[in-house]
């Protein structure tokens, strides 16, 4: 599974040799790609249950689950299973407040795992994760949802900030790597 380039750059800059964080980023990608916004009983729950069972039973015999074997080896399998359970509790977007509360819990658990597995004081922003999910699913963002979003650029990682700026300003669902990297480079030059 290829990581989204924001996550790829974060991995290269902060977690170059950290297989657990790489697996966490891949798990996030898997969960997001299989999330369904508009179904009462989403198919995504079946896929979440499947990956949950693979990790729970140490069944790493297929291409998808094999990249998560590191969770058992690192002794964080129970925490990862809890993370998947938390993600499966995220409701349909029509319940905006419940959606945000459930997503906040997922973000907190995700960040705890990142902190546990790294000496870096890195935290991923909740709004980056939410809009990364929207971007992954090409979901149109409604204005009433955007009005509830408060971004604090000082607290958000530079790689996530650039993604959010591009995505939120133009509602661009096809951000090219070249465009993203050029914006990132400009920001880094201006910062110095």
CA atoms of 187 and 89, how far apart (whole Å): 37
Residues 6+ apart with CB under 8 A from 75: none
For the chain, which residues make up each domain, given as ranges?
5-191
Instruction: Calculate the average pLDDT of the chain.
Output: 86
Distances (CA, A) of 187 to 4, 96, 161, 182: 20, 32, 10, 9
For residue 64 the two structure tokens come to: 């998808």
Pair 162, 187: CB distance under 8 Å = yes
Grade residue 77 by pLDDT with cuts at 50, 70 and 90.
Answer: very high
Read off the pTM: 0.89
- How far is it, in rounded angstroms, from Cα 102 to Cα 100? 6
In this prediction, residues 22-50 reach a mean pLDDT of: 85
Other CB atoms within 10 Å distance of the CB of residue 12? 12
* Per-residue pLDDT at 93: 75
For the segment 91-105, the average pLDDT, to the nearest whole number, is 85
Q: pLDDT: is 146 or 136 the higher one? A: 136
Q: Is the per-residue pLDDT at 66 higher than 60?
A: yes
């Amino acid at each position: 599974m290829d990581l989204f380039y924001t996550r790829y750059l974060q991995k290269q800059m902060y977690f170059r040799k950290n297989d657990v964080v790489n697996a966490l980023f891949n798990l996030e990608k898997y969960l997001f790609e299989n999330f369904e916004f508009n179904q009462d009983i989403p198919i995504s729950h079946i896929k979440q249950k499947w990956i949950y069972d693979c990790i729970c039973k140490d069944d790493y015999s297929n291409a998808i689950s094999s990249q998560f074997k590191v969770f058992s080896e690192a002794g964080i399998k129970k925490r990862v299973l809890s993370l998947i359970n938390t993600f499966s509790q995220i409701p349909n977007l029509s319940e905006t407040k419940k959606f945000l509360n459930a997503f906040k819990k997922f973000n907190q658990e995700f960040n705890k795992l990142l902190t546990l597995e790294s000496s870096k004081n890195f935290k991923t922003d909740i709004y980056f994760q939410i809009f990364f999910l929207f971007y992954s699913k090409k979901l149109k963002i409604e204005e009433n949802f955007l009005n509830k979003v408060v971004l604090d650029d000082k607290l958000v990682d530079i790689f996530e900030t650039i993604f959010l700026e591009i995505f939120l300003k133009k509602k661009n669902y096809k951000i090219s790597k070249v465009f993203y990297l050029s914006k990132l480079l400009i920001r880094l030059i201006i910062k110095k």
